[in-house]
Amino acid sequence: MKNPELINCINESKFKNLILHVANSNQVPFDMPLIYFLAAFDAAIIEKFEVVAQTNEKMPLFLLPIADPGERKTGTMSVAKAPLIEWVESQNKRESEHIKDKVQLDHLKRKKNQLHNQALKVSSIEAKEIFDEIAEIENDINKSFKKCRIFSNDATPSAEKKILSENDGRICYMETEGTFLSNLMEKGSDPQLYNHAYDGDEYYMDRITGKRSIYLAKPLISLCISAQPQPVLDFVRNKRLSGCGFLGRFIFIRLPRMAGRREISTPPIPQECIDWYRNKIFSLLNIMTQKDDAGKNVPFLLKFDHKAASQRDTFRQKVESELNPGGCLFFGNKWGWGSKLVGKIDRMSALLHCIEHDNPMEHDISEETMCQAIMMADVFTHHAQNIYFLAEHGKHAECARDILNWAFKNGDEFSFSATDAKNASGKYSLKEIRQGIEFLINRGHATINMFYFADQQKLGKKGRNKSDMYALINKNTRIQIDHDF
């Protein structure tokens, strides 16, 4: 069955017009630029707004669009990131021109490094005084010039915390490969950092070595990782990540294949679409956050109007009932993903609201915008159900596919036992191999070789019966097991 598409949830607008033109020009699925543009807009407003709900919802989104190789992910994501990169470069150029004495700045940096090395060699009391002095120097450096940054790419587990601490706890990851997922599955990675950064909660990391502890008052991380199917399945199967609530924060979207049916000659993206998108991103990035009495940034609070709030309450009630056993949200780790669905939709409605209005803080979120986000919830749920199901049960199909490919290479008359297949694969247990063979038999791709079985039953034959032997059928046709979703 064809997966539902997000593009059908978006009302006619300049935003939708942009999506359609980019998809047509790049010959990619409509939902690919849609997801990438949502991630880019999220990066632009991540610290500027919050949504007033039962508790204020922060703006970070964890997006995981899944696409096959060769689907032009990089080119499409470059279009989405371009105005943010341009804005960062212009900001850094402008700020660097304000530095009056670069020699003095270099002197401060050298002094900071010297003090840090000195602090590692003295008592804790003396070290505290040195760290206070370092903090004053860092403040002077920041006043001189603080480099603006929005994106990070391919950070190691040890580097990600440092990046956040140097960037006021805010960063966005937009990648077109699964490297980020691989890093998260490494033993040294800390999924709790991302859990905290999804909700903007305080994060502490104390060290037992001489290195400084890390404290992030309000970390915020936005993710858009466009990976291939297999790395995503491995990611969802990771028990360490699934057991801490991390996976439940992701929005999964499986993008359909376009390779093999793309048009060769396509029109460029209209300049008016590019200009609208650039101006919109710049407008959101240039919104100045409010300040409290202590001089700290305070986000603008976005509220639902009366009709939107009513729609939200109805949606919340529906979600609550579907979390029961047998409901459409009772899957994966029982209810972990579904229990966070309302929060995802609150954030999505606020993001659509910011795209719709030039001054989002001057308007309430409308019923129309809320309904678009609620329609998206059905799409998100469908895709999440598929990925969780395949993560739990799809390994049988993967094993069956590998057995099938291996057996075909050995000729038409080839018969094999489960042990033969296990030894040939080198990556599946005997139990998994037997489940894969059972999958092939149930799908009509293999059968028990009855000639071997009959030979075991000869009268007078001594010893234990040999294992069942299997043979493929439909040898003239190379059958592919497609377990993609």
Tens-place pLDDT, residues 143-176: 555 567 787 776 665 677 777 777 777 888 888 8
Lowest average pLDDT, out of 105-114, 324-333, 390-399, goes to 105-114
Please compute, for residue 164, the number of CA atoms within 13 A of its CA located in the half-sphere on the CB side: 29
- Report yes or no: 219 and 203 within 8 Å, Cβ to Cβ: yes
Amino acid 364 reads: D
3-state secondary structure 275-308: HHHHHHHHHHHCCCCEECCCCCEECEEECECHHH
Amino acid 39 reads: A
Counting beta carbons within 10 angstroms of the beta carbon of residue 44, is it exposed (0 to 12), middle (13 to 18) or buried (19 or more)? buried
The per-residue pLDDT for 147 is 67
The per-residue pLDDT for 482 is 47
Predicted confidence (pLDDT) at residue 31 exceeds the cutoff of 50:
yes
Q: What is the mean pLDDT of residues 115-122?
A: 70
- Structure token pair of residue 294: 């202590």
Bridge partners (DSSP) of residue 172 are 151, 222
Lowest average pLDDT, out of 255-269, 309-323, 440-454, goes to 440-454
Determine the Cα–Cα distance for residues 338 and 331; give it in Å rounded to an integer: 8
Q: What is the mean pLDDT of residues 192-210?
A: 76
pLDDT tens, position by position, 394-403: 777 778 888 8
- Mean pLDDT, rounded, of the chain: 81
Prediction pTM value: 0.78
The per-residue pLDDT for 481 is 45
- Report yes or no: 54 and 26 within 8 Å, Cβ to Cβ: no
pLDDT tens, position by position, 428-470: 888 888 888 887 887 777 888 776 555 555 544 555 556 788 8
Q: How many residues does this entry show for the chain?
A: 485
Lowest average pLDDT, out of 52-66, 190-204, 326-340, 447-461, goes to 447-461
Classify each residue of 283-321 as buried b or exposed e, where b means 16 or more C-beta atoms within 10 Å of its C-beta.
ebbeeeeeeeeeeeeebbebebeeebbebbeebbebbee
Domains of the chain, earliest start first? 6-98+145-392 (3.40.50), 409-472 (1.10.10)
Predicted confidence (pLDDT) at residue 125 exceeds the cutoff of 70:
no
- Report yes or no: 195 and 249 within 8 Å, Cβ to Cβ: yes
Lowest average pLDDT, out of 114-123, 275-284, 339-348, 441-450, goes to 114-123
3-state secondary structure the chain: CCCCCHHHHCCCCHHHHHHHHHHHHHCCCCHHHHHHHHHHHHHHHCCCEEECCCCCECCCCEEEEECCCCCCHHHHHHHHHHHHHHHHHHHHHHHHCCCCCHHHHHHHHHHHHHHHHHHCCCCHHHHHHHHHHHHHHHHHHHHHCCCCCCEECCCCHHHHHHHHHHCCCEEEEEECCCHHHHHHHCCCCCHHHHHHHHHCCCEEECCCCCCCCEEECCCEEEEEECECHHHHHHHHHCHHHHCCCCHHHEEEEECCCCCCCCCCCCCCCCHHHHHHHHHHHHHHHCCCCEECCCCCEECEEECECHHHHHHHHHHHHHHHHHCCCCCCCCCCCCCCCHHHHHHHHHHHHHHHHHHHCCCHHHCCECHHHHHHHHHHHHHHHHHHHHHHHHHHHHHHHHHHHHHHHHHHCCCCCCEECHHHHHHHHCCCCHHHHHHHHHHHHHCCCEEECHHHHHHHCCCCCCCCCCCCCEEECCCCCCCCCCCCC
The per-residue pLDDT for 66 is 92
The per-residue pLDDT for 477 is 44
pLDDT tens, position by position, 55-103: 788 899 999 999 988 888 999 999 999 999 998 888 877 665 555 455 5
Q: What is the mean pLDDT of residues 292-303?
A: 82
- Structure token pair of residue 285: 């990035």
- Report yes or no: 250 and 66 within 8 Å, Cβ to Cβ: no
Classify each residue of 91-127 as buried b or exposed e, where b means 16 or more C-beta atoms within 10 Å of its C-beta.
beeeeeeeeeeeeeeeebeeebeebbeebeeeeeeeb
Counting beta carbons within 10 angstroms of the beta carbon of residue 235, is it exposed (0 to 12), middle (13 to 18) or buried (19 or more)? buried
Determine the Cα–Cα distance for residues 330 and 326; give it in Å rounded to an integer: 6
Predicted confidence (pLDDT) at residue 425 exceeds the cutoff of 60:
yes
Determine the Cα–Cα distance for residues 283 and 192; give it in Å rounded to an integer: 33
The per-residue pLDDT for 480 is 46
